[in-house]
Amino acid sequence: MLIEKIKSPQDLKGFTIEEMNTLAEELRELIIERVSKNGGHLASNLGVVELTIAMHYVFNSPRDKFIWDVGHQSYSHKLLTGRYGIFQTLRKFGGLSGFPKRSESPHDPFGTGHSSTSISAALGIIEARDKRGDDCKVIAVIGDGALTAGLAFEGLNQAGHMKKDLIVVLNDNEMSISPNVGAMSTYLHKVLTGTFYKKFRKETRALLEGIPKIGESVAKIAGKAEGSLKGFFLPGGLFQDLGFNYLGPIDGHDLPLLIETFTSIKTLKEPVLLHIVTKKGKGYKFSEDDPCIFHGIGPFEIETGELNGSKGAAEIKGCECITYSEGFGRALVEAASVDDRVIAITAAMKEGTGLTAFAEKFPDRFYDVGIAEPHAVTFAAGLASQGLRPVVTVYSTFLQRAYDEIIHDVCIQDLPVIFAVDRAGIVGEDGATHQGLFDISFLRNIPNLMIMAPADLVELRMMLMAALRHEGPSAIRYPRGKAFTGQTASHDIEIRPGKSEIILEGKDIAIIGIGNTVAVSLKAAELLKSDGIEAYVVNARFIKPLDDELIISLCSRTKKIIIVEENVLAGGFGSAVLECLSDAGITDVAVMRIGIDDEFVEHGSQRRLREKYGLDEQGIYRAAREFIKAKR
């Protein structure tokens, strides 16, 4: 195989176009095979194979720096930069990350995972380069989906103004995870289908050949050229007005054309935006037909495209086949059916957050705002200020983007926006950039916000109803994966603000779980019972308001309390309990907190990571036994 000859991108330099086309086929096969086993972002990676080869052929990584926006499309880049030998470990615990990572390779100059950071980061790198008098090239590759975020425009805004030699490759496949949305997407679509593109598409190569290789800016060349050449630059007028030399659109699968284009623009000393058109999922029938399903996928059968087991299943034994996201989506449809004030908002994650059915049933009350979490939150605040009941469904990790909007636009004004915080806790293979391990800490300190976490699907539904009854802002956090169906042993189905419940009586020790740690705490209590240790188990339900009364009363019954949470310990739920005890002047109770210490949690399966951090039943059981033995 040709890929075996490539120890570093330098080895690509001697390849012929024919060999590079064969290499593209090999890369596609390797990616399909690996993702079919390990899961991952298939369609996005298949779309950028030729682009990646061309970039490595023309530029000199790691001296020249590639910033992959989101970074979910970086598998070919990894394969060409010395990571072929360990590619089978992709997304596995201790293995290759599914995203660019500084600690993994000098060819990854900037880590990504969340979208729309590439232009800002590239500009920073360029500025630092100029300060040290270097002359490397910096290329940001951004998708049309990622271009919907405000952050990308903040980067373009400064870059166009600074006039530095930044190359932005806009990889346009007209898809975000689902079809791309918004006015920018409509604009790009017009560019692709417009008369200019149609007219000049065929002439693209001829035009490029006419561009001198050195010195003059693309704009100047265009200015000097004949009328038809000017037309070549017209479609992307918006980018030109922002200070970029716009080039394209060109076919992003035409390797010779890509190579010629990069060679032509390499020497320019001004910002260039190269618009390429690619097919998401290219080269594998099933992902070409359904790039949305194959955007991020679990293990599947290559022959049939069918999933092996269900995607994102939490590894809790004995649960029914429905995810928390699906359960939430169903509950929201139910709520919206009886309350026409209910609105659903997503930032480009309709399928992931379980809103597909809602969008079909209530198209006028469903909004996909693009990858624009801060806007989603303020948009919801505006709706809520007029008496509507917006529900922002968002992954915990992406809600981080909207912190100021949560405080400034929602909570200070005490508006009844509901945050459905999906993928809260350990998410698994997507790794450090995607774990939802901060939301308890960053939400808990905001006045007016009620925060809940359900122990099972029944509670999730009841919490949504409680949030809709609540007159102020609220958040419900729930994990990735399958729901613990049925009741986790809740005695009382009714959700009352600030009320938790004891779901197992004991005497020797108390274990307080929140959300999905309730079920494992119960299992750990069963193990303790066989050792003769009787543990109370508390289903906390509320992070805020905290059930001070129950916690304080528990302290008169047992002198040892363990708190288990899938969140960082700093500022987490355990901290809330400690604050409560301290404020109440309780000093004779020993508290142990199980959660994530002061570190980022890397990639691996949810099961493996929970085991590592002692968040599974065995971990809690062992910790409880040690704790019982300890003097204090």
For binding to ligand TPP (CB under 6 A), which residues are involved?
Answer: 44, 47, 70, 72-73, 114-115, 143-146, 171, 173, 175-177, 280, 347-348, 371, 373, 398, 401
Cα gap 550→535, rounded to integer Å:
16
Cα gap 419→409, rounded to integer Å:
13
Nearer to ligand TPP, 402 or 417 (CB): 402
Nearer to ligand TPP, 51 or 79 (CB): 51
Cα gap 449→416, rounded to integer Å:
9
Catalytic residue (choose from 78, 280, 365, 608): 280
Q: Minimum Å distance from CB 146 to ligand TPP? A: 3
What are the angstrom distances between the C-alpha of 289 and each of 107, 175, 282, 284, 318?
32, 13, 9, 9, 34
- Those residues whose C-beta lies under 8 Å from the C-beta of residue 442, and which sit 6 or more positions away, are 400, 403, 571
Q: Minimum Å distance from CB 347 to ligand TPP? A: 6
Is residue 612 among the annotated active site residues? Answer: no
Nearest-10 crossing angle of helices 118-131, 150-162: 30
Cα gap 126→137, rounded to integer Å:
8
Q: Distance between the two ends of the chain, CA-based, in angstroms?
A: 62
Q: Which strand (E) or helix (H) includes residue 190?
A: helix 183-193
Nearer to ligand TPP, 146 or 316 (CB): 146
Cα gap 217→204, rounded to integer Å:
18
Q: Minimum Å distance from CB 196 to ligand TPP? A: 22
Amino acid at 35: V
The alpha carbon torsion through 428, 429, 434, 437 (nearest 10 deg) reads: 20
Check: CB of residue 252 under 8 Å from CB of residue 276: yes
Check: CB of residue 370 under 8 Å from CB of residue 176: yes
Q: Minimum Å distance from CB 606 to ligand TPP? A: 18
Nearer to ligand TPP, 409 or 430 (CB): 430
Q: Minimum Å distance from CB 578 to ligand TPP? A: 32
Is residue 334 among the annotated active site residues? Answer: no
Catalytic residue (choose from 34, 279, 365, 401): 401
Nearer to ligand TPP, 280 or 541 (CB): 280
Nearer to ligand TPP, 102 or 199 (CB): 102
Q: Minimum Å distance from CB 372 to ligand TPP? A: 9
Is residue 401 among the annotated active site residues? Answer: yes
Known catalytic residues are 280, 373, 401
